[in-house]
Structure 1
Amino acid sequence: MYLGLDLGTSGLRGILIDDAGRVLCDAETSIPTSTPKPGWSEQNPLDWINACKEVVEKLRALDETAFSKLRGIGLSGHMHGATLLDSDGTVLRPCILWNDTRSADQARILDQTPEMRAISGNIVFPGFTAPKLEWVRAHEPDVFSKTAKVLLPKDYLRFWLTGEYISDMSDSAGTSWFDVGRRQWSDAALALGHMRVEQMPSLIEGTDPGGDLKADLLREWGLSGPVVVAGGAGDNAAAACGIGSIQDGAGFVSLGTSGVLLVARDAYAPAPETAVHCFCHAIPDTWIQMGVILSATNSMNWLSRNLGQPVDKLATALPDAVTGPSGITFLPYLSGERTPHNDSRVRGAFMGLDVSSAPADLTQSVMEGVAFAMRDCLEALKGTGTSPQNLMAVGGGARSRFWLETLATVLQVPLNLPKGSEFGAAMGAARLAICAVNNAEPAEVMSPPEIEDRIEPRSDLIDAYETEYGRYRQFYTALAPLAAT
């Protein structure tokens, strides 16, 4: 048996699978996020450990016999988070998360250093790890001086599971301290961020063994051992493993908390000027290119809170089929934006509100605004020479037929819906555990799922949505300078 653990922003999910990839049971629990100041987003790493304990106990209660046969654990997690430890492995402060924008000034300074983009293959975004440490150096010098190790969120969970300071290539590629082409820490990039290589974890591929489960946890969880903990992956690379996007050109669009349009590449092809992320994949000698927006389903969550209606109720109030764009334009920049704008200051807006506007109108405009933001990502990817002809659609937002039809029409790309529900980051993490334990070839383990349905663009509405997309882009151009003042 193999356990996939996905440490998400809102919670931790675990699935237990067998050698054939069949899911035996799954469990999840929520994790709180603190926002003590505007633009700040933090979590207590102790909450990750407690969540892991809770998920494991739930899985054992569901199928103790299957869990007792556990031989491998794979880890996935939200990227870029800065977990700072002292020389004893004690956490020094709450983890600064991927959607925290406090280090915008530090990111801009690092990004203006010519070597950084050349080394990392990416813009230094405020959400990345390196500018967070520069912010800590400037504002919390005592914490900075005590920092002996910097771990990404899933790798802190690994540290608790194994006692080892280890990370994988895909997650480390999002720090800005990493030479993504050479798949190694960069002494030069670290020096520019006032860091040293000994403060970094050791590096392995996501398919490699990354420590063994500690003896006390083996006893506590009723396991005979040994249990290998795989290198694992950042959440998007893990999701690509879960859905089988490991061959050149294979990709997916994810409507999760953030929005992601990802394509696998068999060669390193950075294009930082497009604001497309170029990271290592979780499997050897493979990379990924991604367009990323910060608020996809999070935009619907925001609308739900402010209208006082559950997301499901808002979504089901819309028809299954689209009839044309809303008269309202929504800009989903609730936490700033990454691709293609790299703008931490811009904020969201509704344009075209009318006295007759109702909750259904706002819901439609939010879904359209996210779709237009994903179209921005697609155009940026095209600027790198990548033009996917069809995409898998995954994430919580993929449950809405209306949203998917809107997205397919705006992207002008068919969307394939995989059969079943177990193909996300937790599944990808479990598949990486199979590779690590059995030295299996990724292509043999990470096959794509059967396609259950295919959402075609609405050819009769493409022109109407294209016109609205042009308006959407004009609104960013008009509003962005105001947000910067």
Structure 2
Amino acid sequence: MFLGIDLGTSGVKAVLIDAAHRVLGTGHAGLTVQSPVAGWSEQDPAAWIRATKAAIGDLDHGLDQVQGIGLSGQMHGAVCLDRDDQLLRPAILWNDGRARDEAAQLDADPQFHAITGNLVFAGFTAPKLLWMRRHEPNLFERVARVLLPKDYLRLWLTGDAISDMSDASGTAWFDPAARDWSDPLLAATGLSRSHMPALAEGSDVAGQLRADIAQELGLPAGIPVAGGAGDNAATAIGAGITGPGPGLVSLGTSGVIFAATDRFLPAPETAIHAFCHALPGSWHQMGVILSAAACLDWWAGINGRSAGELVAELDPVATAPGAVAFWPYLSGERTPLNDPAQRAGFTGLSGQATRQDMTRAVMEGVALALAENMAALREAGGGAQSLIAMGGGARSDLWLSMLAQATGVPVLRPAGAETGAGFGAARLGLMAATGAGPEEMGQPSIAARFDPDTTQQAAWSDALSRLREQRA
């Protein structure tokens, strides 16, 4: 058996699979996000450890038979440790917008585009450390190590400070073509290679489980922990996306359009991410919206209902977008805007607008934003002819049908789509433990297919044009 641990923003998920990649059990424990200042987003890494213990504790059998562990997690977060590996402050998360000015400064330095192949977004890790250098200089001087969120879990599990190529790609300190840290980019934020973890491919062994932690968790001591992956690369591994072919659409807290490539294809002018994939010799392009299912959860909270209850009130058939529209920028936006100051809102409201109209508008707005990301991928020379849907939002037939209309390509929901990154992490754990290659994974069976309706294409295209015009 093989265990995947996915450290998300809203919770930790544990997924147990067997050697045939069948899911045997899942566990979950929730997390909360703190926002001490408007636009800030932080978590206490100690809460990640507590949630990981609870999620693994939900698995009621088989832990003593686990042969390998894989990790995935929210990207871009800054976990700052002193020389004794003690936390200096809460982790600054991927959707934190405080480092907008610092990101703009780094982005204006041409070496960042030239080396990373990406824009420097405010949510990336490097601007956060530059912000600390300016606003928390006493803490910055004590920083001895910077880890990404999932790699803080690895430090706890194994005692080793190691990251993988896909997660490291999102720091703005990394050279994806060379698959290594960039000394000039680190120096631009006052850091050096000594502050960074070692590097491993996602399917390689990157530490062994410590005996004391193994005993606490009920796992065998010494089993390998894979390099793992950032959440989106891990989700793609779970969907069997290891090279050119079908792409991925992820409907989690954030939203992603992901396409694997066999070479590094940077296109920073499009605000598309060009990162390493979780497997050797593989890369990917990715468009990201910062709020996807988070928009529906926010709207559900306003109404005092669950997201499922609100969706159940709607006609389950995807029609042309309605008069009420929603721009899904609750936390700013990344692709294609690179603007943490963008904000969400409804337009087209009248006295006749209903809650159902507004719920549908929220879902349509997310679908349109992801369609805009698909267009950006095509502009960058990538894209996909179909999309495999993963994440919690993929449970909604209506939402996936909207995505098919908005993007113009078939959207496929695999069995077990909600296991997402945790399943991919478990697969990486299997590869690290057994030496299995990606060719042995295959793609999951498809449970449902949603095809675009050509009679609706013009209406969805018009709605996307209105989004762009009104935003401008």
Scaled by the length of structure 1, the TM-score of the pair is: 0.96
Specify the alignment match of 2:468 in structure 1: 473
Flag the 1:359–1:270 CA change in 2: closer, same or farther, 3 A. same
State the distance in 1 between where 2:141 and 2:416 align: 49
Aligned mate of 2:106, from 107, 110, 118: 110
One-letter code of the match for 1:288? Answer: H
SS at match of 1:447: coil
Specify the alignment match of 2:16 in structure 1: 16
One-letter code of the match for 2:457? Answer: I
Q: Deviations over 1:361-389 (max 9, x none)?
A: 00111111111101110111011112311
Q: Deviations over 1:439-477 (max 9, x none)?
A: 111221x31111222111121221122222211110111
Deviation at 1:309, TM superposition (A): 2.0
Q: Deviations over 1:169-207 (max 9, x none)?
A: 000000000001100000011011111100000001001
Q: Deviations over 1:98-117 (max 9, x none)?
A: 00000000000000000001
State the distance in 1 between where 2:128 and 2:229 align: 21
SS at match of 2:245: coil
Q: Deviations over 1:27-86 (max 9, x none)?
A: 100012101111000000000111111122222xx11xx111112110000000000000
SS at match of 1:75: strand
Contact 1:126 1:344 in 2 (8 A): yes
Aligned mate of 2:406, from 407, 410, 426: 410
Contact 2:395 2:418 in 1 (8 A): no
1:321 and 2:313 correspond = no
State the distance in 2 between where 1:318 and 1:298 align: 19
- The answer to which of 166-175 and 212-221 deviates more is 212-221
CA RMSD, aligned part only?
1.1
Q: Deviations over 1:397-453 (max 9, x none)?
A: 222222221111111111112133465100110110111111111221x31111222
- The within-5 A match list for 1:73-472 is 73-421=69-417, 424-444=420-440, 446-472=441-467
Flag the 1:471–1:421 CA change in 2: closer, same or farther, 3 A. closer
Flag the 1:220–1:419 CA change in 2: closer, same or farther, 3 A. closer
State the distance in 1 between where 2:340 and 2:112 align: 19
Q: Deviations over 1:314-339 (max 9, x none)?
A: 11111121232110111111111000
One-letter code of the match for 2:2? Answer: Y
State the distance in 2 between where 1:185 and 1:139 align: 25
- The answer to which of 300-309 and 331-340 deviates more is 300-309
One-letter code of the match for 2:96? Answer: D
One-letter code of the match for 1:458? Answer: D
SS at match of 1:461: helix
SS at match of 2:213: helix
Deviation at 1:149, TM superposition (A): 0.1
Deviation at 1:230, TM superposition (A): 0.7
Contact 1:177 1:189 in 2 (8 A): yes
State the distance in 2 between where 1:80 and 1:51 align: 20
SS at match of 1:416: strand
State the distance in 2 between where 1:245 and 1:181 align: 20
Deviation at 1:19, TM superposition (A): 1.2
- The answer to which of 416-425 and 281-290 deviates more is 416-425
State the distance in 2 between where 1:17 and 1:302 align: 33
State the distance in 2 between where 1:6 and 1:42 align: 18
One-letter code of the match for 1:52? Answer: T
SS at match of 1:195: coil
One-letter code of the match for 1:449? Answer: P
5+ long unaligned stretches in structure 2 = none
Contact 1:71 1:226 in 2 (8 A): no
Query: How many residues are treated as equivalent by the alignment?
Result: 472
Flag the 1:223–1:371 CA change in 2: closer, same or farther, 3 A. closer
Contact 1:166 1:202 in 2 (8 A): yes
One-letter code of the match for 2:148? Answer: L
SS at match of 2:58: helix
One-letter code of the match for 2:17? Answer: I
State the distance in 1 between where 2:384 and 2:215 align: 48
5+ long unaligned stretches in structure 1 = 478-485
Deviation at 1:224, TM superposition (A): 4.2
- The answer to which of 416-425 and 405-414 deviates more is 416-425
Using the aligned pairs only, state the percent identity: 50
One-letter code of the match for 2:309? Answer: K
- The answer to which of 103-112 and 9-18 deviates more is 9-18
Contact 2:79 2:146 in 1 (8 A): yes
- The answer to which of 449-458 and 336-345 deviates more is 449-458
Contact 2:67 2:223 in 1 (8 A): yes
One-letter code of the match for 2:272? Answer: V
State the distance in 1 between where 2:416 and 2:182 align: 41
Contact 1:71 1:225 in 2 (8 A): no
Specify the alignment match of 1:40 in structure 2: 40
Deviation at 1:249, TM superposition (A): 3.1
SS at match of 2:330: coil
One-letter code of the match for 1:411? Answer: T
Contact 2:390 2:417 in 1 (8 A): no
One-letter code of the match for 1:24? Answer: L
Contact 2:13 2:422 in 1 (8 A): yes
